[in-house]
């Protein structure tokens, strides 16, 4: 498998939709000049032109209506309209060559990634990622919800708005356009993040019986959400399945085409929350393991997200000699998720880490000395980093294990395992199996999707049918509440070992370790 | 005809609608408590209950969605919903006895009248009227539009919002409820006033080719409009026919039942703008004469609107001795429209005023000496007051005259003449014919409607079918642009006399004058 070949970096997912019905469409409207014998209102004149092209009914938000007198003078208007809501989004006077842009956002707990899209052809214009500014208020969602209980919902909302608005500023500035020229947006987020973005209190989510305020959100206007796009730009949200499986995961399922496969397939969102979806065209079941931010560089002291300068791959020989690569090939800044997986696996293969995750030579292991890093500080992995990481991988594995068990399947029944999440393209599947993160299956069953949530958001931005499909999909996924399963903790505890308490889950292990250790 | 018996003070117009489908409906929703086996989102739980009662789809504005966690605890929610827009307007927790209130508003250039309505049965709870605070920025719409050109649109908007919000505060305070308990609103205004209320620039209206920005407005949320009602309360606007025939007139046509009559009938809105609608079930034509504020006390120095203390009727004998009545029977404050009509007519009958409107004894006529008025100042009528008044009546008459002419009818063809406007219930038809304001027809053809715009707004607040009918009505009224008719000025000039240059229009005149002068 080609490690650095993101399957879905810049397309529209593994599935295709015919035609284009983007969330916002640009249409050119021409008018006869008004006269005493035709002195309809500006709005009525514009609607008559518009309805010839796209049947209504159409409505004008007040701020757009107020702009009508200034735009109707030239006899031609470029109208941005949202067929889903029947709203006129924006109007520009004259015959200038206008373009409609949209923003697809993967709103993660740790990382937010956005893609500026040309709505005329669906192509990516620019993309950018940033740490979610809420990280300063807690790396995991439980901590942030604790802050909500302290009255900080508005503060957390501001921070995520600032994150997305900052990305939009960066992308539009890079494309040489105004941030307000973005006239449609799809935000695929997990359930808690979408609540926080919309200023909706998520405190019911983490306590029994785990109630979100809403699993689906109607299309909102950008200015109502607080996004600095075109004020009436529609903002669409993929629906959530439940408290711990959000619209981001569902968008990934859509992009993977998994809901059309015969299956059974497994989709793992290798992000902060460790979501699992199992099934295919006939049935789908989903749950989440609350993995934690390990895969996005959020638990190790030297952890960073997958970006320029991140150590993405590591090899360690039995003498502890390290070779590694960084994204971009320059000096190292820190260790991203795939690098962390490699490092733990290689330490284990080299016999420098025992099955319980204890380092055999001291409390800390040096990956790169200070002289070879960007900031001159050495990059190390210590006992706490490893323990945190093992909890993350155990949560992920336990979620997979229990989900398969619930539907009476074993890992070998899986036709495909889709790997979604920012780190998915960089993961060395072999090493991930070695440490017991992924089930022990032949490598050709694993399909790295890259940022499948972002792909799904991109599809929804471009295709009305994708938006319809996603709502239908949400309705047919069965949601497994792991928080309610006593067995989850047992399986989690068993998966805290390398690769697992019960090595029969990993029949290839002896061969793997043998191969390297020879 | 009973002068002081307003035909439509407190009902729902001359026409009835079966059943009630108010703009906002209150429904009680009960829920099973959530559990691990049913941990849908609050929204999804509420929607499932709501859709059993009223098929959706329903959407939640963000501010309402944000309130869900706090209202869902009790297991019962009182939900205010707007079926027209499919929006949930407001939610209240528990089983308290809630009521849904609505506000019907007649938004006039000079006067604003509002009625607080119990949406459960359609009954008026309270009503109140006030001068439009925009009067300080010009008594007529042309002056206010001139201010808009000076950048004062926001200021004018604030003033009309302040007027309506003040009335709502007064009405709700009188009813012992909070202003935010008003959960639906219908505002029937003329085209310019509706533009000003919504902050939409009306400057295209008074200049050729007389273009409004919009003739129909979609249902808005109170907070977007700036009304201090329940924030998501729907605010509905009767559509305008054109620049000078607004939703207020159309609401009056609806309330009069004129569009269902065989006809031809004439509806005169005896207000500041002097609108005329002619026709019946088969055809309708409308125009406006831009009468001016005379009928609402807006031109005479001692003019006031029809209210407690307004002189509503005046008799003057040939020696100039005056007897008069006031609304409420107390001391006089000033002269309202009907009093002004009487005064001019009686001066004319008494031979104290000639056909050109010139007073025969000095520049001023004393109606009431200072000792008998509220402020101790005498109430007089001077030459300027009379000249202003004659322009108003001439505009009204010329509009009627030209409209009849355009469809090839004469006044005697009219089956009924509906008199709408605040002053309509107080007008002495006989005197109005004497001065040439109303066509010379037998008194039993005149039907005073009172504030028919307010009645129409009230109907629209209570009946979905009324809202549908009104939109259909707007589409079938032919709009006559008098500003574009050269003949209008000729007919206006001819009508500046008492009663008219051509006395053949008023065959009963000799008998009238003879009767009194004997």
- Would the CB atoms of B42 and A214 count as touching at under 8 Å? yes
* B190/B279 same-domain check: no
Q: What stretches of A50-135 adopt beta strand conformation (E)?
A: 76-82, 87-93, 101-107, 111-118, 124-131
| The pLDDT of residue B115 is above 60 | yes
To the nearest whole Å, the CA of A372 is away from the closest chain B CA by 50
* B137/B232 same-domain check: yes
| Chain A hits for B198, Cβ within 8 Å | 62, 65-66
| The pLDDT of residue B291 is above 90 | no
Q: Hey, of A48, A71, A87, A213, which one would you mutate to test binding to chain B, going by the most B CBs within 10 A of its CB?
A: A213
Q: Which residue of A has its CA nearest to B226?
A: A62
The residue out of B389, B415, B448 marking a domain boundary is B389
Average pLDDT of the residues in A344-348: 94
A400/A405 Cα distance (integer angstroms) = 9
Average pLDDT of the residues in B284-293: 76
Q: Which of B39, B68, B215 sits opposite A242 (nearest CB)?
A: B39
To the nearest whole Å, the CA of A75 is away from the closest chain B CA by 14
To the nearest whole Å, the CA of A224 is away from the closest chain B CA by 8
Using an 8 Å Cβ cutoff, are B471 and B217 in contact? no
A22-41: pLDDT as tens digits: 999 999 999 989 998 899 99
Banded model confidence at residue B9, pLDDT cuts 50, 70, 90:
very low
Q: What is the total count of domains within chain B?
A: 4
Banded model confidence at residue B295, pLDDT cuts 50, 70, 90:
low
* A321/A267 same-domain check: no
* A363/A472 same-domain check: no
B400/B397 Cα distance (integer angstroms) = 5
- Would the CB atoms of A42 and B213 count as touching at under 8 Å? yes
Q: Is A374 in the B-facing interface, judged by CB distances under 8 Å?
A: no
The residue out of A58, A93, A128 marking a domain boundary is A93
For residue A295, the model assigns a pLDDT of 66
| The pLDDT of residue B354 is above 80 | yes
B131-166: pLDDT as tens digits: 999 999 998 888 999 999 999 999 999 999 999 999
To the nearest whole Å, the CA of A130 is away from the closest chain B CA by 27
Helix (H) or strand (E) holding A452: helix A452-462
To the nearest whole Å, the CA of B39 is away from the closest chain A CA by 6
Q: Which two tokens stand for residue A262?
A: 């015969």
A114/A107 Cα distance (integer angstroms) = 8
Using an 8 Å Cβ cutoff, are A448 and A430 in contact? no
| Chain B hits for A44, Cβ within 8 Å | 214-216
Q: Is B35 in the A-facing interface, judged by CB distances under 8 Å?
A: yes
For chain A, the average pLDDT equals 90
| The pLDDT of residue B8 is above 60 | no
For residue B268, the model assigns a pLDDT of 92
| The pLDDT of residue B24 is above 70 | yes
| The pLDDT of residue B293 is above 70 | no
Q: Which two tokens stand for residue A131?
A: 């740490």
How long is chain A? 518
Q: Which two tokens stand for residue A509?
A: 């292990």
* A227/A108 same-domain check: yes
B416-428 burial: b if 16+ Cβ within 10 Å, else e: bbbbbbbbbbbbb
Q: Which of A69, A216, A218 sits opposite B204 (nearest CB)?
A: A69
Q: Is residue A54 part of a domain?
A: yes
Banded model confidence at residue A11, pLDDT cuts 50, 70, 90:
very low
Average pLDDT of the residues in B208-220: 94
For residue B12, the model assigns a pLDDT of 33
Q: Which residue, B124, B104, B102, B123, is CA-closest to B114? A: B104
Q: Is residue A254 part of a domain?
A: no
For chain B, the average pLDDT equals 90
| Chain B hits for A220, Cβ within 8 Å | 62
Give how far Cα A316 sits from Cα of A352, A426, A438, Å. Answer: 9, 18, 21
Which residues constitute the domain of residue A280? 260-293+396-505
**DSSP letters along A332-355, please?**
B-EE-HHHHHHHHHHHHHTTSB-T
Provide the CB-side half-sphere exposure for B115 (13 A, CA).
28
| The pLDDT of residue A518 is above 60 | no
CATH number of the domain enclosing B121: 3.30.420.480
Give the full edge-to-edge strand order of the sheet including A477-479: A446-450, A416-420, A265-269, A275-279, A284-288, A477-479
Q: Is residue B514 part of a domain?
A: no
Q: Which of A69, A200, A209 sits opposite B66 (nearest CB)?
A: A200
Q: Which of A426-430, B217-221, B483-487 has the highest mean pLDDT?
A: B217-221
Q: Which residue, B364, B355, B369, B360, is CA-closest to B382? A: B364
* A286/A351 same-domain check: no
| The pLDDT of residue A4 is above 70 | no
Q: Which residue of A has its CA nearest to B197?
A: A62
For residue A292, the model assigns a pLDDT of 57
Q: Is residue B3 part of a domain?
A: no
* B144/B189 same-domain check: yes
B190/B175 Cα distance (integer angstroms) = 28
Q: Which residue of A has its CA nearest to B66?
A: A200
Max Cα-Cα span within chain B: 94
Q: What stretches of A119-264 adopt beta strand conformation (E)?
A: 124-131, 182-189, 220-221, 234-236
Give the full edge-to-edge strand order of the sheet including B334-335: B322-326, B310-316, B334-335
* A404/A379 same-domain check: no
Q: Is B190 in the A-facing interface, judged by CB distances under 8 Å?
A: no
The dihedral built from the CA positions of residue B63, B65, B68 and B69, taken in this order, carries a sign that is: negative
Q: Is residue A14 part of a domain?
A: no
* Distance, CA of B384 to chain centre: 27
Query: Phi and psi at residue B394, in whole multiples of 5°?
Result: -70, -40
A178-189: pLDDT as tens digits: 999 999 999 999
* B498/B427 same-domain check: yes
How long is chain B? 518
Q: Where are the alpha helices (DSSP H) in A211-280?
A: 222-225, 247-256
* A201/A223 same-domain check: yes
Q: Is B215 in the A-facing interface, judged by CB distances under 8 Å?
A: yes
| The pLDDT of residue A154 is above 90 | yes
Provide the CB-side half-sphere exposure for A75 (13 A, CA).
4
* A345/A279 same-domain check: no
Helix (H) or strand (E) holding B368: strand B364-368
Residue predicted with more confidence, B233 or A301: B233
Asked which of A284-293, B152-161, B246-255 is least confident by mean pLDDT, the reply is: A284-293
Q: Is residue B513 part of a domain?
A: no
Q: Which of B39, B199, B214 sits opposite A43 (nearest CB)?
A: B214
Q: Which of B62, B65, B209 sits opposite A39 (nearest CB)?
A: B209
Q: Which residues contact B195 (CB under 8 A, 6 or more apart)?
A: B201, B202, B205, B212, B213, B214
- Per DSSP bridges, beta strands B416-420 and B446-450 are parallel
**DSSP letters along B287-344, please?**
EE----GGGGT-SSTTB--SSTTEEEEEEE-TT--EEEEETTSS-B-EE-HHHHHHHH
For residue A431, the model assigns a pLDDT of 92
Pseudo-torsion of CA A145, A148, A152, A156, nearest 10°? Answer: 40
Using an 8 Å Cβ cutoff, are B211 and B192 in contact? no
For residue A480, the model assigns a pLDDT of 87
Residue predicted with more confidence, A377 or B5: A377
B407/A302 Cα distance (integer angstroms) = 87
Task: Tally Cβ neighbours within 10 Å of residue B516.
Answer: 18
* A283/A423 same-domain check: yes
Give, to the nearest 10 degrees, the angle between helix B452-462 and helix B464-476.
Answer: 130
Q: Hey, of A64, A211, A477, which one would you mutate to test binding to chain B, going by the most B CBs within 10 A of its CB?
A: A211
Predicted TM-score (pTM) of the model is: 0.89
- Would the CB atoms of A208 and B36 count as touching at under 8 Å? yes
A455-492: pLDDT as tens digits: 999 999 999 999 999 999 999 999 888 776 788 889 98
For residue A1, the model assigns a pLDDT of 32
For residue B273, the model assigns a pLDDT of 73
Q: Is residue B247 part of a domain?
A: no
Q: Is residue B245 part of a domain?
A: no
Q: Which residues contact A274 (CB under 8 A, 6 or more apart)?
A: A268, A288, A289, A290, A291, A292, A392, A395, A396, A399
Q: Which residue, A216, A256, A220, is CA-closest to A240? A: A216
């Amino acid at each position: 498998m080609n490690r650095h070949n993101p399957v879905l970096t810049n397309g529209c997912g593994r599935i295709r939709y015919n035609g284009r019905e983007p969330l916002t469409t640009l249409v050119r409207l021409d008018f006869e000049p008004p006269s005493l014998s035709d002195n309809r209102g500006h709005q009525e004149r514009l609607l008559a032109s518009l309805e010839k092209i796209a049947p209504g009914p159409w409505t004008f938000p007040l701020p757009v209506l107020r702009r009508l007198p200034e735009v109707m003078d030239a006899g031609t208007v470029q109208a941005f309209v949202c067929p889903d809501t029947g709203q006129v989004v924006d109007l520009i006077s004259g015959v200038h060559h206008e373009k409609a842009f949209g923003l697809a956002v993967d709103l993660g707990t740790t990382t937010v990634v956005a893609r500026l899209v040309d709505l005329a052809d669906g192509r990516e214009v620019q993309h950018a990622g940033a740490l979610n500014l809420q990280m300063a208020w807690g790396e995991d969602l439980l901590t942030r919800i604790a802050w909500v209980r302290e009255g900080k919902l508005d503060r957390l909302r501001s921070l995520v708005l600032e994150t997305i608005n900052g990305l939009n500023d960066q992308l539009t500035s890079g494309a040489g356009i105004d941030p307000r020229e973005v006239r449609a947006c799809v935000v695929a987020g997990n359930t808690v993040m979408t609540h926080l973005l919309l200023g909706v209190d998520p405190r019911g989510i983490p306590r029994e019986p785990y109630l979100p305020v809403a699993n689906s959100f109607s299309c909102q206007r950008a200015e109502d959400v607080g996004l600095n796009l075109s004020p009436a730009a529609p903002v669409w949200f993929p629906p959530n399945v439940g408290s711990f499986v959000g619209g981001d995961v569902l968008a990934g399922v859509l992009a993977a085409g998994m809901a059309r496969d015969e299956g059974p397939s497994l989709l793992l969102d290798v992000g902060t929350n460790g979501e699992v979806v199992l099934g295919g065209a006939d049935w789908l079941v989903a749950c989440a393991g609350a993995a934690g931010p390990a895969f996005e560089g959020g638990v190790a002291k030297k952890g960073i997200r997958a970006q320029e300068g991140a150590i993405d791959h590591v090899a360690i020989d039995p003498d502890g000699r390290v070779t590694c690569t960084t994204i971009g090939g320059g000096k190292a800044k820190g260790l991203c998720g795939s690098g962390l997986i490699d490092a733990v696996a290689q330490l284990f293969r080299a016999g420098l880490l025992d099955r319980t995750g204890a380092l055999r030579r001291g409390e800390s292991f040096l990956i790169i000395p200070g002289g070879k890093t960007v900031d001159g500080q050495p990059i190390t992995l210590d006992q706490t980093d490893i323990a945190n990481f093992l909890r993350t991988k155990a949560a992920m594995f336990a979620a997979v294990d229990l989900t398969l068990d619930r539907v009476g399947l074993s890992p070998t029944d899986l036709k495909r395992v889709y790997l979604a999440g920012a780190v998915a393209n960089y993961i060395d599947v072999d090493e991930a199996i070695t440490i017991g993160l992924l089930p022990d299956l032949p490598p050709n069953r694993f399909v790295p999707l890259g940022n499948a949530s972002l792909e799904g958001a991109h599809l929804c931005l471009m295709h009305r049918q994708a938006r319809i499909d996603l709502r239908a999909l949400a309705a047919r996924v069965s949601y497994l509440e792991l928080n309610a399963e006593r067995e989850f903790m047992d399986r989690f505890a068993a998966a805290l070992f390398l690769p697992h308490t019960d090595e029969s889950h990993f029949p290839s292990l002896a061969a793997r370790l043998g191969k390297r250790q020879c």
